Structures are given as C-alpha cells and as structure tokens.
Amino acid sequence: MALNILVGCTLIGLVIILIISKRQYGHTTFDFELSEYTLSRFLFIGLFCFDQLSRFITFKKNRNSIHQMYGQYAFTERYRLFIAERLTLAFVILLVFTTLSLVIALKSNIAENELLKNEFEGGAHYSYYEYVISDKGLSATGELSIKVPAMKATSSEALDYIHEVIEVVALNLSQDEYGVHHTYSKLNCPVTYKQVSIDWLSSDTNYLLNNGQLRYANIAESESVNLFATFHFQNITITKKYELVLYQLPLSASEEVLEAALMDAIDYQSDSTQLILPSEIDGYAVKWYEKKAFLTEAKMFVIGIILSVLFYFLKAKSLDEKITERKDHMLIRLPYLINKIALLIQAGMTFHGAWNKIIEDYIRLKNTSSIKYELYEEMIITLNDMARGTSELVAYELFSKRIGLKEVFRFITIVTQNIKKGNRMLSIALMDLSYQAWQQREVIAKTKGEKASTRMVIPMALMLVAILIMLLTPAVLSLRI
C-alpha cells in the first residue's frame, strides 16, 4: 500500500511538472533548429527542470566539450539545451514506467470475487489468486490456481459442436497414407478434443489397445478390428464405430511416443456466466487477490528510475562521439582549406583576404546546396569576432582553441608568425603543411574503412549461415527420405 501511494504521488508530481513546464516554456524559441536534439518537442520539460535545479545544483560536466563544439557565443544556450535534453529523456522514461507501475498496482489490488467465464467454445481458463483468511485478528495467506469453466451451450449448440468434433477426430484418426483401411502406425486417439471428452474401446486388445497403440507382435499379415469412440459433451453422448485393418509396422515407419493427459475435476456453477468465488469458508472471511505477475508495480517503478538515470548519463557519452566525428570532418576538410589559402596567397591576396574569399564562396555554396562544413562554420565565427573588434591574431588563436586539433594549432601558429614577419614565406610553409594534412586525411580514411569492414563481419557471418542452411537443407531432407 505504501508503495502504491509513493507511485501515485510520483505520477501526480510528474504530471504537475509537465503542465507547469508546458505553460512556462512551451513557446520558447531559439536562433537555431532543435531537430538535432532527442525529443525536441518536449524540451520545455528539461528546460524547466534545468532552471529549477540550477538553484541548488551547479552543472559543470561537459562544459568544455560544449564550448569546443559550439563556440563562446552559443555556449550558454547550447549547454542549457544539452542538459535539458538529458533531463527530458530521463523524465519521459520515468513518467512511462511510473504510469505502468501504477496500472499494475491498481490491477493487482483486491479483486472482486466474480470471474467471467469464456464462451463454451473457448473452454476453461485459469486465474491465479492470492487469498487472505482472517479471523479475530489472525490471518493466513496463500496462493491458489482457480480453473474457471466455460459457459454451458444450449442443446442444439452442443449437438452441432459435438458433430464437428467427431468429423475432425475421424479425419485425424489415422496418419497413414491409406487411412484406417491400411493402418500400421499408432492411431491418434485423444481423450479430449477442445471441450469434448472421448472414451476409446478396442474390440480386440490383442491387436489394438484402447489408446490406439498397435500390438505388432500379434499381427500376422493383416487383422480387422473395430474401434469405438464415445464422445461426451455436457449431457450429450454419441458413440462412433471405426472399422480398421491393421498391418505390421514397415521398416521405414518411426515409433511414436505415448502421451498421457491429466484431467482436472472441479465442481462449478453451470447455469451462470461467472464463477463466483466464495467470500466465506467455514465462518472465516476470505479475500481474493490476483496473483502478481513477474513485472510487479515495484519492479516497474524501480526499472523506470534505473533507466532514467542510465539514459541521463549515456546521453552525455553521445556528446563525446559527436565531438570526435566533428574533429574527423574538420581534419578531412583541412587539406582543402590550406591548399586554397596557399593558392590565393600566391595569386597576390593577403591571408585575411584569402580567408574572406573562401568564406564568401562557402556561404554561396551553402545557400544553393545546403552543404555544411564545420571547419568553415568556425571560420565564419572568427570573421564575426573580428567584426566585433577582436584583433586578427587573437581571433585566429581563438579559432585554434575552439577546434582543439593539433593540426589546426600548427596551421594557425605558422600563419600568425608569418603575419607578424610578413607573408613572403607563408605560401611555401602552407604547401608543406598541406602535404602533412593530406597524409593525416589518408590515415583517417583508412581507419574509417577498417571500422566499416569490422562492422560488416556480423552481417556477412549471418549471410554465410543462411547460405549454408539453404544448401544443406535439401541434402538433409533427401537423407531422411
């Protein structure tokens, strides 16, 4: 009961947070698209939780990674959204599992002592209950499996139903290719079929037992035997006779395993649509509880909490993967950038002019084809820094720090040194640096190719297994024939 109250209060609290956050942050807008964030439509939940938690907790982790990825000017909003995305994911998982745990808790509470019966075709079903018998402050508990019988059919329905069963049993009695007139395998003699019970009686048990098993030792060439089947359903009893001709077991036929059936007998109410469980036994009060499933409300609630915390921290790991992928993309574009700058400087441009020219061409290309290169986006930020009054050398150094790659740091170091001394040797130094960058690009391409081939191992292995199955199946089937 205490757990149910805790789950209910938790769910109410989560719903209140959902409503308040929707009202306060549902119309929050940003200067960039939110499609890159998981559950972007529900980020208002995380933003609300972040602002409330920031009063008591200082979020410090991953600040450098966000700063490196998005730059100084977008850092505040991007870091806020990064934490909000993780909080939103954890909130949604906790909300779902709390709701499920509450549903399970309500379903497993004290059940009414009325159980619905199936239609007569559906047969009996089992319900699992826990009970508490109490008297004068004392109580005893236990578990009980209750067989709930099906409703009774009318006379005409029962007669039609039993004739349908007779036809099906007759069709399935012999599994041999010639049917009952040339039988050498064990007969299919079920003691029950659906809701009909069947009694079997052989006219001569020297050759055929009542369960359909042939006695091959007593069969010479062929023997004629009658097998009687008596079908019982409700108050209707019908007996059918099957004339059989039994033969010796061929060498190619396999023996069949005998099966036993256990019939549970129970007294039940036949005229009602429900099975009423007793609320009192020998003067003792009885309360019935449905037996709890494997996933109880407590387990569901705990799983929700664990998954919420787990996904909150796993989401931070995805940031490192994004940064690594971003750096690889920059290293791939770096040789092209250095080559262009070197060629433009040889054509008579200054380094700053070459920088502007490359950005102008990139913006034009971006507007026409929606291509986006992270390295050029950082160059745009550097131009904006210069436009705000940052000196050229400082802006280039900030560009290098934001990217955080040693190859870019070496590139900016060569550039700043030559700007201070003049551009006379800059193009030669850039061509040498370009050669090194191309080598680094080849290493990255080779590494990505190796990773791709490694990922293909499992699919190729599955394809090999599928091919082997297709090739070996006909051979195995031919051996069995």
Two tokens at 292?
């709890």
Query: Which residues lie closer than 8 Å to 49 by C-beta, 6 or more apart?
Result: 17, 21, 84, 87, 88, 91
- Cβ-based burial of 366 (10 A; exposed 0-12, middle 13-18, buried ≥19): middle
pLDDT the model gives residue 401: 86
pLDDT the model gives residue 7: 83
pLDDT the model gives residue 230: 92
**77/80 Cα distance (integer angstroms):** 5
pLDDT the model gives residue 199: 92
Task: Examine the pLDDT at 262 and tell me if it is beyond 70.
Answer: no
pLDDT the model gives residue 289: 61
User: For residue range 154-168, what is the model confidence (pLDDT) as tens digits?
Assistant: 878 888 888 888 888
Rg of the chain over Cα atoms, rounded to whole angstroms, equals 40
CB 355 within 8 A of CB 379: yes
Helix (H/G/I), strand (E/B), else coil: 468 = helix
Quick one: average pLDDT of 400-417?
A: 84
Mean pLDDT over all residues of the chain? Answer: 78
Task: Examine the pLDDT at 151 and tell me if it is beyond 80.
Answer: no
Quick one: average pLDDT of 360-367?
A: 86
- Cβ-based burial of 6 (10 A; exposed 0-12, middle 13-18, buried ≥19): middle
For the question of whether the overall pTM of this predicted structure is more than 0.85, the answer is no
User: For residue range 55-91, what is the model confidence (pLDDT) as tens digits?
Assistant: 888 887 777 777 777 767 777 888 888 888 888 899 9
Q: Which range has highest mean pLDDT (82-96, 204-218, 404-418, 433-447)?
A: 82-96
Residue type, 320: D
User: For residue range 339-353, what is the model confidence (pLDDT) as tens digits?
Assistant: 888 888 888 888 888
- Name the band, by pLDDT with cuts 50, 70 and 90, for residue 134: confident
User: For residue range 420-475, what is the model confidence (pLDDT) as tens digits?
Assistant: 776 567 777 777 777 777 777 777 777 777 776 777 778 888 888 888 888 887 77
Task: Examine the pLDDT at 333 and tell me if it is beyond 50.
Answer: yes
Percent of the chain with pLDDT strictly greater than 90: 2
Two tokens at 359?
């950005």
Output DSSP code: residue 191. S
- Name the band, by pLDDT with cuts 50, 70 and 90, for residue 121: low
User: For residue range 269-315, what is the model confidence (pLDDT) as tens digits?
Assistant: 555 666 666 565 544 455 656 665 666 777 778 888 888 888 888 77
**194/172 Cα distance (integer angstroms):** 14
Helix (H/G/I), strand (E/B), else coil: 126 = strand
Stated as kind and residue range, the H or E segment containing 475 is: helix 457-480
Tell me how far CA of residue 253 lies from CA of 186, 224, 248, 446, in angstroms. 10, 20, 10, 61
**Residue 104 burial (CB count, 10 A):** 20
pLDDT the model gives residue 258: 29
**350/378 Cα distance (integer angstroms):** 20
**Residue 42 burial (CB count, 10 A):** 20
Quick one: average pLDDT of 345-363?
A: 86
**376/355 Cα distance (integer angstroms):** 10
CB 91 within 8 A of CB 53: no
Helix (H/G/I), strand (E/B), else coil: 124 = coil
Percent of the chain with pLDDT strictly greater than 70: 81
Q: Which range has highest mean pLDDT (66-75, 121-130, 199-208)?
A: 199-208
pLDDT the model gives residue 293: 60
Quick one: average pLDDT of 120-149?
A: 71
pLDDT the model gives residue 16: 92
**435/421 Cα distance (integer angstroms):** 23
**136/438 Cα distance (integer angstroms):** 89
- Name the band, by pLDDT with cuts 50, 70 and 90, for residue 260: very low
pLDDT the model gives residue 110: 47
The DSSP code sequence of 239-291 is EEEEEEEEEPPPTTPPP-------PPP----SSSSEEEPPSEETTEEEEEEEP
